[in-house]
Structure 1
Amino acid sequence: MAEKANQFGQFNLKKEVIDALSAIGFYEPTAVQAKLIPDVLQGRDVVGQSQTGSGKTHTFLIPILNQLEQDNEYVQAVITTPSRELAAQITKAMKEFSNQLNTDISISEFVGGTDKQRQIKQLENHQPQIVIGTPGRIKDLVESGSLKLHAVHTLVVDEADMTLDMGFLNEVDYIAGAMPEGLQTLVFSATMPEKLKPFLKKYLDNPHFEAIPVSTVIADTIDNWLLATKSKDKNDIIYQVLTIGNPYLALVFANTKERAKEISSFLRGHGLKVAEIHGDIEPRERRRVMKAIQNLEYQYVVATDLAARGIDIEGVSHVINDDIPAELEFFVHRVGRTGRNGLPGLAITLYGPDEENEVAELEALGITFKAKQIKGNEIIDVKDRRARVQRVATTKKLDSTMVGMVKKKKKNVKPGYKRRIKNAIQRKNQMDRRISQRQEMRATRKANKQRGEH
């Protein structure tokens, strides 16, 4: 049987690197890899705007290992990430890859919440060739004089927008400033905020900018469902979806920590064993929970977007969005947790009647949905989701007072809010009728009185 050809050979990589890629099952580059690896190998600065699941991690790992000077024991590449989980994920990928090269490559992971003094002692004896870590800890080690960055070839800033959001850009600025001129800088980001642009201008020299469209990173192995909540309790709907579907591993996303806690508590109260991942979970506990999830001790995980951006959980069969995320780009991060490596996946997004605009924006990004509803104990197709919207559009507009009432109600969406709004409208109409009747009666009495005077 002929050996499968490795398409990474088109990049003129070292033979041992191509063999290592084959050993870990990488034969065909993704869109972001095909577009950016040639430029990275030529030493150009690049900015890659791509989402989770697009293969961006190996877009920088492959060139770094291909160009590493294995006999030189100094720091040659630094990779910063905004979260400890993402640092661990990249370190794991780098070690799996480098282990196939049959040579000793020194890789160190430096993140907050670990023993800094121990790391300082280790650095006194030995400088790693590749550093992966969070900006705060790397900056601390550089500031103390322990980590030497004077000969670094490549700086990678991964998840740059999340780095900015979490307030770590100043630390990355400090780290970059400790590196030599002629540094190659690679920046990867899901979005490109304006506040990130001064950093790019400061450290990147005529970079190749490449945006990989959203449509290329939602795998066609994912079934993407849209489930109307109407006036039903969302906790009940999530429980129904989880128990109807019997997922291998389900990841439920909430927009806030408070909502994640509420969903977890509800599901546990109904007998499900649930793991929680959000900002209020201590790092040590989060690591323990992650290990337990990897060991398949949990079938259900409730998380905030931290998990979508910084944690790679294997074997997710179902993703459930409790709500459409405030940042629509996060939708792709969430959905990208399932349907990976050619496996089938199911993404179910719950939405209320006041979220049609958000759904339309996602559809404008090239995301397609299948409309569904729960009937009895099964999830069935909805013939035309837009029919209701069109009917609403043709109804009589509310007056300004009622518009205010409706908006006020919608700010705090709870079960039964549609009924309460409907009742409020009925009360307003009744009041309007009474006022109108009184005005007519007054007008009649006044007319009768005037006729009597004449």
Structure 2
Amino acid sequence: MKETLFSDLTLTEPIRRAIADMGFHNATEIQFQSIPVLQSGRDVIGRSQTGTGKTLAFGIPALERIQTEGELADKAQVLILCPTRELAAQACEEIQKLSKYMQGVRAVAIYGGAPMQPQIQKLKRANIVIGTPGRVMDHMRRRTLKLDAVSTVVLDEADEMLSMGFRGDIETILNDMPQQRQTVLFSATMPDEILALTRKYQKDPVTVQINPRTVTVNTIRQEFYEVAPSGKAEALGTLLQFHAPSRAIVFCNTKRTVDALCKELNRCGVSAQGLHGDMEQPQRTKVMNGFKSGSTAVLVATDVAARGIDVNDIEYVFNYDIPQDTEYYVHRIGRTGRAGKSGTAITLCGGRRQTIQLMSVAKSVKTYIKPMEMPSEEEILKRQYAVNLEKMRDLIDKQNTPELFTHMVSDLEQMGYSTKQIAAAALFAHFGEKRQKPMLSEPEEKLSRARHGRKKQGAKNSRSGAKSNHVSQSKQSANRRGKAIRPTPPPDNLPEISYVGGYTHSHS
């Protein structure tokens, strides 16, 4: 793909300045193909995966069409429909950043799970409305949102909205708008329902299609580990410990698994939060804010909930469960490797059957997923040592150590301690002793029953005198099964330093 700069596009000066403030210089493929067509006023069908910059693709032309003076200034002129609350909120945030230097542009996000009255107040003067179909319909019924002045409507993630049962709401909303309008539709897939909508509500649309492979393969390293079905949780714990990502998403197929896996990860020292559709909006917002700020290192989510995640610096995506269809796989791994950065997608296959299932997915999207072996204990310890060493280098290079600590070092030197002794003690105080966390257990529905069975089996082995042999065999086969191994003392030449990036709690 030929590199295209935003400066190569015909943009108004306020938007050009806002884009520069946002740190964008190169336009993505969907952006440079869509923006000129949308600026001309044509209807557009955009087929593109999540994470390709669609919000700017439709947001820039929409903002340029807004009339900020006259009788339309305080009326809704642009309506953007999104499938989830998170997507609506984040799209609104992007629009507000884009309109930073534009006078009279007022964007508001409306969605369920949030108080109605503040939304009603903002809608009185909003000229751009971003919302979920259900809440848009609520405001239409209350007459707090009128669509008679809408000149541009955008259906973002249209396939997901239809799969969530919003087709009736969408058609009601579209029928309540002026016939003379620009209708824009973005979708990762084009099922028959989408095609029916385009035929009914769009006029001679221009199709912009981005090859999924340009989204997923070029910037994302894809790997998989085949482990025993009962060893997936421990394998995940080991890989999180080894890779130590500052920000990662773990995908599960069910809400139950999200909750159970989150509980296990936190019990074992991993800073993890769950995200799924049964959570109340304030809780979902709190989780997303923690993930964006970096206070939460690992987000465990279902596919539908993750549709609202728009974070560019996600280093790793883990498929704890095999995605239920090919498109979900593409959506999942598209959360990493964004904005020109590289990323890694790791899938855990519970046995040979799931490996075959994953290979079928790889064939469908024409990509290569590399088989991997679980890292050894020594490899994990060396990786942690390197990470901690880099952390100390960063702290020293920044040279912003408080003066109090400098005086403390001087006082300790006067007491007769060497610089090496002081530095070693400081490292120990910061990183703490290596805590031997219990291994992750498998978060499945029959977890307690399985544990009970193992206890009975252990007692039987003990009575028969076979317990020691059983434990020995378990240790020998643990790595072959892909299960995490309990830490053992490191080699003599390797300092014992534990990682404290949210995976092992530090303590002195």
TM-score (norm 2): 0.70
Task: Give the corresponding residue for 1:24.
Answer: 22
- 1:281 matched to 2:282? The reply is no
Summarize deviations over 1:114-173 as a string: whole Å, max 9, x none. Answer: 2224433554xx331111111111112122222121121100011111101111121121
Q: What CA distance in whole angstroms lies between the structure 2 residues aligned with 1:7 and 1:293?
A: 30
Structure 1: any 5+ residue segments left out of the alignment? Answer: 381-411, 417-454
- The residue number in structure 1 matching 2:129 is 131
Equivalent in the alignment of 2:54: 56
1:80 Cα shift? 0.6
What residue number does 1:265 align with? 263
> In the TM superposition, what is the alpha-carbon distance from 1:277 to its structure 2 partner?
0.6
1:238 and 2:236 are equivalent in the alignment:
yes
Structure 1 residue aligned with 2:353: 354
> Aligned match of 2:201 in 194, 200, 203?
203
Q: What's the offset of the Cα at 1:185?
A: 0.5
Q: Which residue of 2 aligns with 1:212?
A: 210
Q: 1:348: Cα distance to partner? A: 0.7
Q: Partners in 1 of 2:332 and 2:266 — Cα distance?
A: 23
The reply on whether 1:168 has 2:173 as its aligned counterpart is no
Amino acid at match of 1:180: P
CA deviation vs aligned residue, 1:320-354 (integer Å, no higher than 9, x gap): 10122112111122112222233332211112311
Match of 2:107 in 1: 107
Q: Deviations over 1:338-397 (max 9, x none)?
A: 2223333221111231131442332341322221011533789xxxxxxxxxxxxxxxxx
| SS class of match (2:79) | strand
Amino acid at match of 1:107: A
CA RMSD of superposed structures (Å): 2.4
The 1:413–1:114 alpha-carbon spacing in structure 2 relative to 1, beyond 3 Å, is: closer
Question: 2 CA distance for matches of 1:273 and 1:302?
Answer: 11
- Please report how far the alpha carbon of residue 302 of structure 1 lies from its aligned counterpart in structure 2 after TM superposition: 1.0
1:6, 1:22 within 8 Å by CA — same for their partners in 2? no
Contact 1:75 1:131 (8 Å CA) reproduced: yes
State the match for 2:36 in structure 1: 38
**How is 1:66-85 mapped onto 2 (pairs within 5 angstroms)?**
66-71=64-69, 72-73=72-73, 74-85=75-86
Distance in 2, matches of 1:35 and 1:296, equals 34
Aligned in 2, Cα 1:309/1:119: closer, same or farther, shift over 3 Å? closer
Residue 370 of structure 2 corresponds to: 370
8 A contact 2:224–2:369 mirrored in 1: yes
What is the CA-CA distance between 1:111 and the residue it aligns to? 1.0
1:13-47, Cα deviation, whole Å (9 max, x unpaired): 22332233223222222111122222211111111
Match runs of 1:379-418 below 5 Å: none
Q: Distance in 2 between matches of 1:119 and 1:344?
A: 39
1:256 CA drift (Å): 1.1
> CA 1:188–1:413 in 2, change beyond 3 Å: closer, same or farther?
farther
- List structure 1 runs of 4+ shifted beyond 4 angstroms: none
Equivalent-residue separation in structure 2 for 1:166 and 1:378 (angstroms): 47
Residue type at the aligned position of 1:76: Q
Residue identity in the other structure for 1:114: A
Q: How far apart, CA to CA, are the structure 2 residues paired with 1:156 and 1:246?
A: 39
Any idea what SS the aligned residue of 2:346 has?
Answer: strand
On the 8 A contact 1:84/1:111 being kept in 2, the answer is: yes
Q: By how many angstroms is 1:84 displaced?
A: 0.5
- Map residues 306-321 of structure 1 onto 2, 5 A cutoff: 306-321=304-319
2:145 maps to what in 1?
147
Could you give the per-residue CA deviations for residues 89-130 of structure 1, whole angstroms, max 9, x where no partner exists? 10111111111x24231111111122224433554xx33111
Structure 1 position 222, deviation (Å): 2.5
**Aligned partners of 1:361, 1:413: CA distance in 2, in Å?**
28
- 1:62 to partner: Cα distance: 0.9
| Higher deviation after alignment, 50-59 or 268-277 | 268-277
Which segment is superposed worse, 211-220 or 78-87? Answer: 211-220
Call closer, same or farther: CA 1:378–1:262 in 2, change over 3 Å. farther
State how far apart, in whole Å, the 2-side matches of 1:322 and 1:413 are: 17
Q: Which moved more, 1:128-137 or 1:15-24?
A: 15-24
2-structure distance, mates of 1:78, 1:329? 27
Residues 27/196 of structure 1: CA separation in 2 closer, same or farther (3 Å cut): same
Post-superposition Cα deviations, 1:165-195, rounded to whole Å, max 9, x if no partner, equal 1111211211111110121100111111222
The CA deviation at 1:250 is 2.0
User: In structure 1, what residue type is equivalent to 2:232?
Assistant: K
- Whether the 8 Å contact between 2:222 and 2:369 is mirrored in structure 1 is yes
Select between 47-56 and 139-148 the one with higher mean Cα deviation. Answer: 139-148
* Identity rate, percent: 36
**Distance in 1 of aligned mates of 2:13 and 2:295:** 40
Instruction: Give the conservation status (yes or no) of the 8 Å contact 1:49–1:188.
Output: yes
1 CA distance for matches of 2:76 and 2:376? 61
Residue 7 of structure 1 corresponds to which residue in structure 2?
5
Partners of 1:58 and 1:121 in 2: how far apart? 27
The TM-score normalised by the length of structure 1 is 0.77
CA–CA distance in structure 2, aligned partners of residues 332 and 339 of structure 1: 12
Q: Secondary structure at the match of 2:307?
A: helix
Given that 1:127 and 1:147 are in contact with CA atoms closer than 8 Å, whether structure 2 keeps it comes out as no
Change (3 A) 1:357 1:302: closer
Residue pair 1:80, 1:156 contacting (<8 A) in 2 also: yes
Once structures 1 and 2 are overlaid, which stretch shifts more, 222-231 or 281-290? 222-231
Q: How many residues align?
A: 377
Q: 1:316 to 1:375 in 2, by over 3 A?
A: closer
Deviations 1:33-77, CA, capped at 9 Å, x for gaps: 122222211111111111011111111001011222221412110
CA distance in 1, matches of 2:17, 2:368: 38
Give 2:192's aligned residue. Answer: 194
Cα distance in 1 for residues equivalent to 2:153 and 2:179: 12
The residue type paired with residue 94 of structure 2 is A
Q: What secondary structure is seen at the aligned counterpart in 2 of 1:310? A: coil
